[in-house]
Chain A
């Protein structure tokens, strides 16, 4: 069995709702509730769900942007080739660890500092980690710009983000992400704000880079069709929980969880002859699974196809 680049176990992220003058805690929002998954080296996992389902919160916890409430994140240490927990790293180790994990953001207009040139933006990680001398750094920037298809790089380096189109900006974001040669990249809907025609070229670029450089993605999207194109496996998230996780084609052809079924059935199909069947919520299959596995939270129904067994009847509809 291949190695995992990242393993997430029982990740939880709660937000306290405080109110009143003395900041008493009124309640807790479980933005991410008991989420577990792993991603094998070189493979990509799609995290799909409606807005507000906790997919971005999961990503931010993975990137250590927001502290998690509970749970375990184990990451493959590239030096020892072992999965190590990142909880007990000290500051210097943590800074070094951060070289291995990067994130691409949704909005190409906000994810680049408007006051910096493209060169400075891509250089930033190198400056932070103090890698190479100035000439080396510049050479690295040129190299990476060529890799993401912004050629000739000399044309782009002195420019500012506002002088580029959305697609070009997203390429700069990718270049900035890749300059540290990370093995794991979290993508938060990187193509959802781009035009259809540009979207595919960015997705193709990311797929090619993944193949060439051996990068694993956690690809967050609300669009199952995009996730299908990008990912080997898909996890469907709902209300802070993963309800179904399986290999992409298996999940699409044979969804089991009622929420997944509903999600798939609500996506328009670019074919006027295709008639979408209106899906009626049907809990029978899920009930059956719950009955047979009374203790488990996630049940493998075969071929690493996992179904969550918590009760969803009262939250769906």
Chain B
């Protein structure tokens, strides 16, 4: 009853298609996973929107470029003198002075000619959100929204590349170590012991001393370090547990080849753990990027980490929420993208783990 080779290929294709359709259906049933997917898709949309806006000419690069753009937002402020005692007739308390459109004369000691009642021409930097700048500008007059978009490009390249690379390497190596055992296993385990012992941040410092680190360099370094490190050992131990399960034996008795068993039984049962690692590596990669940017070791022009770093060095981070557009968008973007990846991981877990499925 055996089929010809062509028929077999056709059958395999059909089976694969069916599997993909079924898995998508399962994923779309998971609410959390879909929320995560929407969040990730939103950031992906932001990342892709920016080049589109520049190319179509809707945004002028001279103004909206996240690194070298500059928008002069001029303002005419009334010079006043804040009263010594509160409440006064105009101001309720100390915090209310100066009010909107006003400037305290004491702040203008650099311009001695001005007197109370004059108007003072100046540029607002950082400027609060307005119609032209949806999230305002930073202390150098650059558009924050554009920076967020640039940052999400960086986050995607860095997070996805390093996480995929890392988890891909560790899953393959871990499964191979568990499945083949013996010398292969011994070698891989010693290797990951070695990588585990390497402190990754100092290593990155050294690498950055010798070579200019671009985003994708960093992604590869982080991915390879993560992929060869401890996660190989964890994934191997999980794969070892799966390998001795009777259903694997029973596939072997039936005549399943090594690769069939590896891909159909062991990998799907290791996948949830790998996904968890992936989620952590995305967040981890974004965090390492911030640290390296903070230390000035990374040749990156703009990222969420740099945005937070700049608002901190400029002293805005401690000014409460007066300059919220400098801190919140970048901070929330990091939180939401990392959370979005986590939720996608949860959704995928429901695909892989039927116990979580609701009926």
A–B contact at 8 Å CB threshold (below): yes
Residues on A close to B: CB < 8 A?
A: 60, 63-65, 94-96, 98-99, 101-103, 105-107, 110-115, 121, 124-125, 127-134, 160, 162-163, 173, 176-177, 180
Complex contact A105–B254 (CB within 8 A): no
Mind listing 25 A-B residue pairs with CB under 8 Å?
Answer: A64-B253, A65-B249, A94-B255, A95-B255, A96-B255, A98-B254, A98-B255, A102-B250, A103-B249, A103-B253, A105-B250, A113-B265, A114-B354, A115-B354, A124-B254, A124-B264, A129-B254, A129-B255, A130-B2, A131-B2, A134-B15, A160-B354, A160-B355, A163-B359, A177-B250
Residue of A nearest to B22 (CB): A117
Complex contact A130–B253 (CB within 8 A): no
Instruction: Count residues of chain B with CB under 8 A from any CB of chain A.
Output: 31
- In the complex, A208 Cα to B172 Cα: how many Å? 45
Complex contact B11–A130 (CB within 8 A): yes
B268 at the interface (CB under 8 A from A): yes
- In the complex, A110 Cα to B244 Cα: how many Å? 10
Provide the B240-278 mask, 1 if CB < 8 A to any CB of A, else 0.
000001110111111111001000110011000000000
**Least Cβ–Cβ distance between A170 and chain B, in angstroms:** 12
Could you say which residues of chain B place their CB within 8 Å of the CB of A106? 246
B353 at the interface (CB under 8 A from A): yes
**Least Cβ–Cβ distance between B117 and chain A, in angstroms:** 77
**Least Cβ–Cβ distance between B201 and chain A, in angstroms:** 34
B14 at the interface (CB under 8 A from A): yes
- In the complex, A225 Cα to B8 Cα: how many Å? 47
Instruction: Give 3 nearest A-B pairs by CB, closest first.
Output: A98-B255, A111-B246, A105-B246
Could you say which residues of chain A place their CB within 8 Å of the CB of B269? 113-115
Task: Given A98-B253, A128-B255, A133-B7, output 4 extra A-B contacts at Cβ < 8 Å.
Answer: A105-B249, A114-B269, A115-B353, A115-B354
- In the complex, A46 Cα to B182 Cα: how many Å? 35
Complex contact A115–B268 (CB within 8 A): yes
B3 at the interface (CB under 8 A from A): yes
Could you say which residues of chain A place their CB within 8 Å of the CB of B260? 128
Residue of B nearest to A112 (CB): B247
Residue of A nearest to B7 (CB): A133
Could you say which residues of chain A place their CB within 8 Å of the CB of B355? 114, 160, 162
Complex contact B254–A180 (CB within 8 A): yes
- In the complex, A133 Cα to B260 Cα: how many Å? 19
- In the complex, A63 Cα to B253 Cα: how many Å? 6
In the complex, which of the residues B3, B253, B352 contacts A115, with contact meaning CB atoms closer than 8 Å? B352
In the complex, which of the residues A103, A113, A132, A134 contacts B14, with contact meaning CB atoms closer than 8 Å? A134
**Least Cβ–Cβ distance between B152 and chain A, in angstroms:** 33
Residue of A nearest to B254 (CB): A125
Complex contact A124–B251 (CB within 8 A): yes
**Least Cβ–Cβ distance between B209 and chain A, in angstroms:** 38
Could you say which residues of chain A place their CB within 8 Å of the CB of B111? none
From A110, A111, A113, name the one whose CB has the most chain B CB atoms within 10 angstroms: A113
In the complex, which of the residues A128, A160, A173 contacts B254, with contact meaning CB atoms closer than 8 Å? A128
B211 at the interface (CB under 8 A from A): no
Complex contact A127–B249 (CB within 8 A): no
**Least Cβ–Cβ distance between A130 and chain B, in angstroms:** 6
